Structure formats: structure tokens, C-alpha cells
A and B are shown apart, each in its own frame.
Chain A
């Protein structure tokens, strides 16, 4: 059983489209993280959330603690947004991550 479930697994969008990636988790958490991984492996932390909503440029992340659900939105998507987006949670019990399986996003010009 995976502690973190992500959907969709793959997503193809036209440039300019609004994109939503969803994440559900089953454990008590101290924080939820959205990560971005480009081809070649490097991982960048986009957001860390423990409640509410955060916005950075065209990226918006929300979390509903009661429903154990988070969403990552990308407005006005661009080909450079093409990457794998990974949801990860830090459980109450420690400082490690439990990861979702990732969403592979391709934005077509």
C-alpha cells in the first residue's frame, strides 16, 4: 500500500492550458512537498505546505488537511514546464519523505 497516491500518471497539454495534478495521502503529516524533476535527474523543491495555499509565479499549490489531499496547478503552461512532478509527504514520525509515483507532464508548443 502506497502512502501517497498521485494522479494522473501522465499528462499531455497544449501550451497555455491550465494543468492540475492531484495528490492524496494516508498518513499523518507534518508537511507536504511538491517536487519537480527534469530529465537527467535533478530534483527541485517547488513548495512545502502544511496548510492552505501557496503561489509562486504560475504555480499554485493547495492542501486540504482534513481530506488529506493536495493539488498542484500550473497556469498558462509552457513547454519548459515539461518535467515529472512528484508529491511527497513528511510523516509526523520523522524527517524522511514518502513519495508519490510522479506525474510526467509534457507541454506541447
Chain B
């Protein structure tokens, strides 16, 4: 099976712009979670989607949003970018249940100038 893929892998944006990141889960996986990793804060949970519904949400402002399509592919959007949004954004997929092993994608490295 193909692993989790994320596009793009690298992105440079300027403050105030918006960005959309994409994640394709492993075939058959219905849960997709998004995480932000920064040197200062480490890994933090953004949100989780399951069967096109947001099932869990972390403590991020409303500028961070996401969605999931019927084929389980997911996108996350960050509007009005700030310098502090520079980070590695990781998505992970799992089958269906709570506590399952999550399979991570390679990440999208976002730099906001």
C-alpha cells in the first residue's frame, strides 16, 4: 500500500496570505489528523477528521481550518498567515478506531516571511 502523502512538501508565503495543504491517507483509512511542529512548541494537535466530519479539535485559532472529502483526502487551510505559523505540518492517518496506530506523512514545511 502507498503511504500517506502530503503536498506540497515545501512552501514559502508572506504574512497575510493564506495557504492550503493537502493530505492523502493510506487507502482504506478514514481518520486523518493534522499536527503542527515548531522548535518552540514541539508537536501540537490541530484537528482530526473522520468520515468527512471534524471529530476532534486542538487549541488553535479559527484561522486554522480543515476539511475531508468523501475519498478521505483532507486539506487544511491557514488564513491570514503570521510569522509564527512557520512550521512543519504533518498529517497522519489511521483506520477507524480510537487509539489506533497512526501513519504519518512526510510533512509540509511552511515558511512565512
A residues bordering B, Cβ < 8 Å? Answer: 29-31, 33, 35, 41-45, 48, 50, 86, 88, 90, 92-102
**Known contacts A95-B55, A96-B48, A96-B56; is-contact A45 B33 (Cβ 8 Å):** no
B99/A30 in contact, CB under 8 A: yes
List A contacts of B26 (CB < 8 A).
Answer: none
CB closest residue in chain A, given B102: A45
B11 to chain A: closest CB distance in Å? 14
Interface size on B, residues (CB 8 A): 29
CB closest residue in chain A, given B107: A41
What are 11 sample pairs from A and B whose C-beta atoms fall under 8 A apart?
Answer: A41-B106, A43-B90, A48-B99, A48-B100, A94-B98, A95-B50, A95-B98, A95-B100, A96-B58, A97-B33, A99-B44
B104/A86 in contact, CB under 8 A: no
Could you tell me which residues of chain B, from 12 to 66, have a CB within 8 Å of some CB in chain A? 31, 33, 35, 37, 42-45, 47-48, 50, 55-56, 58
List A contacts of B55 (CB < 8 A).
Answer: 94-95
